[in-house]
Amino acid sequence: MSDAPRNGVHRLVQGLLGASAAEALVAQLEIDPRLIRPIGETVSRAEMAQALNMVLFFDLHERVPEGHDYVQDVMAAGQKITFDHGALRTVAWPSGALPPGEAAISRVLRPLGFTVADTYPLPRLKMTGRAWAHADFPETIAQFFVSELHPERFSAQFQAAVTRVLADSVDPLGPQDIGRLERLGRDAALPWSDALALMPKIVACFGRQHGGFALADYETLLAESAEMAWIATEGNAFNHATDRVSDLQALSEAQKRKGRSIKDTIEVSGSGRVMQTAFKAAQVAREFLHEGEWVTRHVPGSFYEFIQRERLQCGRLDLAFDAGNATAIFKMTTHEALEILN
């Protein structure tokens, strides 16, 4: 098989991950046929958004062993993944060279064609969640669920630890990248040379931008917020990626039979139309500074989620989220979840 890309989305993904990974993703994920366009002089914001989602899905799939195994099962059955949404966490606090909070991400999502579909207060977590849906393809380009933690609602000791952890954050985007994003926002498309140069910088925004920090600070954060402790070690990486399925109950039972760490219960939205469950987070090894030396600790990483969405009376898919569901799903990255898993 030729390594030549067959369409614009394929070319973007191949430029970031190489031919083999690009082929695998095209085989694994449902892609709206309207996005399968011949390669022309420019690339649309929707093609760039789809490619970004595919690359971030690949990254999470590689970091979450149970997610990887599940995807292989789907492929073996001759089916594909419908990527519903990816979730990430931010902190509304001064962050070195990085714009604080959601601004570090929204400056990328808006030019790509995403808009805020709804806002979800998460008071128990002292966070706010926002769903970003694509303006051109809301049902078929995966949404982003971006949560923002509010350190001012925590103790002074907590705030000081947040400041220390985030102080050396770097900005993956330079002035030329910002300029390209502005042109993309204006024109909804970019010449290929600009798109290919910009895509790696966009992908880099979805990672950890700060360096190492003290174990004592991690423990201070963990004592008040498992979510902030997670951000401290993982940054703005995908917290989870979500497969949209037609029968969540059947899927949950099948995963339990396989011995995988899926939640015991399914979360159901207030409307009854949105149901969610998930595997527990993968364990990851992270280094912390302790008494002048670097020590390794195992902490919660990312996880893989499943969602079932019903249709509204008008026929459109219910793309909403539910604050109660989200709060429960967030528990998948707590240390308690890891202890249950082990």
Digit-by-digit pLDDT tens for the chain (342 residues) are 457 778 999 999 999 999 999 999 999 999 999 999 999 999 999 999 999 999 999 999 999 999 999 999 999 999 999 999 999 999 999 999 999 999 999 999 999 999 999 999 999 999 999 999 999 999 999 999 999 999 999 999 999 999 999 999 999 999 999 999 999 999 999 999 999 999 999 999 999 999 999 999 999 999 999 999 999 999 999 999 999 999 999 999 999 999 999 999 999 999 999 999 999 999 999 999 999 999 999 999 999 999 999 999 899 999 999 888 888 888 777 766 555 433
Token output for 316: 């459109």
CB distance 14 to 22 below 8 Å: yes
Q: What is the pLDDT of residue 2?
A: 58
Instruction: Please tell me the distance from the alpha carbon of residue 326 to that of residue 246, in angstroms, as a whole number.
Output: 20
Q: What is the pLDDT of residue 49?
A: 98
C-alpha distances out from residue 26 to 9, 23, 29, 137, 242, Å? 9, 5, 6, 18, 17
Under DSSP, the state recorded for 238 is -
Q: Cα dihedral sign for 133, 138, 139, 140?
A: negative
Q: What is the pLDDT of residue 107?
A: 98
Q: Which residue has the tokens 């037609």?
A: 246
Q: Which residue has the tokens 């570090």?
A: 104
Q: How far apart are the first and last CA of the chain?
A: 43
- b (16+ CB within 10 A) / e for 118-137: eebebeebbbbbbbbbbbbb
Count each helix (H run) and each strand (E run) in the chain, helices first. Answer: 13, 12
Q: Which residue has the tokens 């394929």?
A: 10
Burial class (CB in 10 A: 0-12, 13-18, 19+), 171: middle
Token output for 109: 């999502």
Residues in Cβ contact with 197 at an 8 Å cutoff, skipping those fewer than 6 apart: 176, 180
Which CATH code fits 8-341? 3.10.180.50
pTM exceeds 0.75 for this model: yes
C-alpha distances out from residue 221 to 225, 233, 236, Å? 6, 11, 17
Instruction: Please tell me the distance from the alpha carbon of residue 330 to that of residue 125, in angstroms, as a whole number.
Output: 9
Nearest Cα to 277, choosing from 52, 66, 62?
Answer: 66
Instruction: Please tell me the distance from the alpha carbon of residue 200 to that of residue 48, in angstroms, as a whole number.
Output: 11
Token output for 252: 């949950």
Domain parsing of the chain, residue ranges? 8-341
What is the three-class DSSP state of 180? helix
Token output for 235: 């940054």
C-alpha distances out from residue 146 to 30, 72, 93, 102, 117, Å? 23, 28, 15, 7, 11
